């Protein structure tokens, strides 16, 4: 089968921005004018959903002869995406080929600064400011910004959680060197000039750098039974992921020009020319080294994506999370919880300091408040914990308390077991290392909390009652 390349843009963009990319590929022997296509979608149409985008993509692929009527491949597709395009192609593959991946026409995906786990700017895009600066100026739909797509792009969105459980947290992920070869490149720098006012920590100006990688981990803490159960799932998605100095969300595309040599241009060519699993591994090792150099003197972030549900998997939308520090003592530990009831003045000081550091970049999703997100600088946290250990003169316990208020007098959550859950104990005054750790730098870690919802409004007895 012949090879075809498809370029998919991001939110508030169009294929016009990728003319230079197409010409660059042609000049370097990757396809021809007739084999490199643009995929466009009206990203600022408020009624457009991700389902609409992938439905349209499937229909257009059939019309262009990329797949037959049953979706079977007629060509080998290389897909290059930017930003929101990462979510689009992942959704497309999981929806139409998740249960028959051997029939998927997509053989290779190259993601440029993909929004796999959200963007802090999505919330701004839905605001009045976003409507003014990014809205559509067409009669009848003035100020439309693509609200439903932005809901999916918002940090800790239900859509991202749903999609991750369809293509990442599965028994056999298909993003690997033997099935769909996937290459993810993102810049390490924010915007300059006037646009730098939108820069957020740990981003390339638009997307969360640690949220571009899809090699994620999930923890589930289940408090609904008699005993707390903690499970850990690391499916081991196998992708090439690299962070490049000198690029931001826009320049990683703009630096690809006809007749110009650039780092990102060469990496795209390298990725497209990979044929074997061995070549994939070699490029992966190269990008690992580049990423290590990128972060040699910079902070490394980890994004946490939390969801709270009850024993019927219904969202728990009102809850708070607090972090605490205690001097380590075995007598304070019982069944994974801290039993010490009061903090010393120094423990309180460090609890407030570390809680503030961990939750500095905290976000509650606007469409469903059971989903929360926070961003942690791993190097900074390590320094604070080491300083804390020195000050307290011992190893420490980092714990978390989860508080869920009552619904009313008769409906409540059983919260006794949610108090002072041990997250980690330091080892020799530093963060512990090991195969199963809470901290996975440069990743998004999902955490699902399951709590028991109970009621006093239902009784069973031998004697009748009158209400």
pLDDT exceeds cutoff 60 at 190:
yes
Strands 76-82 and 106-112: parallel
pLDDT attached to residue 229:
83
Maximum Cα–Cα distance across the chain = 88
Q: Confidence class of residue 423 from pLDDT cuts 50, 70 and 90? A: confident
What is the token pair recorded at 121?
A: 């700017």
Q: Average the pLDDT over 423-434 and give the result.
A: 84
Strands 301-310 and 371-377: antiparallel
- For the sheet containing 337-338, what is the strand order? 320-327, 396-403, 421-425, 337-338, 333-334
pLDDT exceeds cutoff 80 at 418:
no
pLDDT attached to residue 225:
83
For residue range 228-263, list pLDDT tens digits in order.
788 889 998 999 999 999 999 999 999 999 999 999
pLDDT exceeds cutoff 60 at 135:
no
pLDDT exceeds cutoff 50 at 209:
yes
> Chain-wide mean pLDDT for the chain?
92
For residue range 210-234, list pLDDT tens digits in order.
999 999 999 998 988 877 788 889 9
pLDDT attached to residue 195:
76
pLDDT attached to residue 434:
60
pLDDT attached to residue 223:
87
pLDDT attached to residue 143:
41
For residue range 65-101, list pLDDT tens digits in order.
999 999 999 999 999 999 999 999 999 999 999 999 9
pLDDT exceeds cutoff 70 at 48:
yes
Residue the block writes with tokens 């600064």 = 113
For residue range 443-465, list pLDDT tens digits in order.
999 999 999 999 999 999 999 98
Residue the block writes with tokens 């090439």 = 240
Q: What is the rounded radius of gyration, in angstroms, for the C-alpha atoms of the chain?
A: 24
For residue range 429-447, list pLDDT tens digits in order.
888 876 557 888 999 999 9
pLDDT exceeds cutoff 60 at 130:
no
Distance (Å, rounded) from C-alpha 149 to C-alpha 128? 16
For residue range 359-410, list pLDDT tens digits in order.
999 999 999 999 999 999 999 999 999 999 999 999 999 999 999 999 999 9
Asked whether 451 and 413 are in contact (CB, 8 A), the reply is yes
Percent of the chain surpassing pLDDT 70? 95
Burial of 313 (0-12, 13-18, 19+ CB in 10 A): exposed
pLDDT attached to residue 196:
79
Q: Average the pLDDT over 314-336 and give the result.
A: 92
For residue range 136-178, list pLDDT tens digits in order.
334 333 345 889 999 999 999 999 999 999 999 999 999 999 9
Asked whether 41 and 56 are in contact (CB, 8 A), the reply is yes
């Amino acid at each position: 089968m012949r090879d075809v390349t498809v370029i998919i843009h991001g939110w508030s963009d169009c294929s016009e921005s990728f003319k230079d990319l197409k010409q660059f590929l042609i000049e370097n022997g990757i396809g021809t004018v007739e084999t490199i296509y643009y995929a466009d979608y009206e990203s600022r149409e408020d009624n457009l959903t991700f389902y609409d985008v992938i439905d349209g993509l499937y229909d257009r692929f059939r019309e262009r002869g990329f797949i037959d009527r049953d979706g079977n491949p007629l060509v080998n597709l290389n897909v290059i995406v930017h930003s929101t395009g990462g979510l689009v192609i992942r959704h497309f593959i999981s929806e139409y080929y998740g249960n028959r991946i051997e029939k998927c026409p997509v053989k290779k995906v190259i993601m440029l600064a993909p929004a796999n786990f959200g963007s802090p700017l999505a919330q701004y895009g839905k605001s009045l400011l976003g409507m003014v600066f990014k809205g559509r100026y067409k009669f009848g739909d003035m100020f439309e910004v693509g609200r439903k797509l932005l809901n999916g792009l918002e940090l800790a969105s239900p859509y991202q959680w749903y999609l991750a459980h369809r293509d990442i947290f599965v028994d056999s992920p298909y993003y690997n060197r033997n099935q769909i070869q996937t290459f993810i490149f993102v810049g390490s720098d924010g915007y300059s000039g006037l646009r730098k006012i939108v820069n957020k920590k740990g981003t390339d100006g638009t997307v969360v750098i640690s949220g571009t990688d899809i090699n994620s981990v999930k923890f589930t803490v289940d408090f609904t039974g008699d005993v707390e159960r903690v499970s850990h799932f690391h499916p081991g998605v196998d992708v090439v992921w690299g962070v490049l100095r000198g690029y931001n969300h826009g320049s990683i595309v703009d630096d690809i020009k006809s007749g110009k040599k650039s780092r990102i241009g060469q990496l795209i060519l390298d990725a497209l020319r990979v044929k074997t699993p061995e070549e994939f591994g070699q490029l992966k090792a190269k990008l690992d080294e580049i990423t290590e150099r990128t972060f040699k003197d910079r902070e490394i972030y980890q994004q946490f994506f939390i969801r709270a549900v009850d024993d019927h998997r219904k969202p728990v939308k009102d809850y708070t999370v607090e972090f605490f520090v205690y001097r380590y003592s075995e007598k304070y530990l019982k069944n994974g919880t801290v039993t010490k009831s009061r903090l010393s003045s120094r423990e309180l000081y460090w609890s407030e300091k570390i809680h503030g550091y961990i939750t500095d970049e905290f976000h509650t999703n606007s469409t469903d408040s059971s989903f929360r997100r926070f961003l942690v600088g791993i190097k900074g946290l390590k320094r604070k914990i080491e300083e804390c250990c020195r000050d307290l003169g011992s190893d420490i316990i980092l714990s978390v308390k989860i508080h869920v208020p009552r619904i009313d007098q008769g409906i409540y959550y059983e919260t006794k077991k949610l108090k002072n859950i041990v997250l980690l104990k330091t080892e020799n005054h530093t963060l512990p290392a090991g195969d199963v750790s809470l901290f996975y730098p440069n990743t998004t870690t999902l955490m699902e909390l399951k709590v028991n919802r109970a009621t006093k409004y239902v009784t069973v007895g031998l004697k009748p009652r009158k209400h």
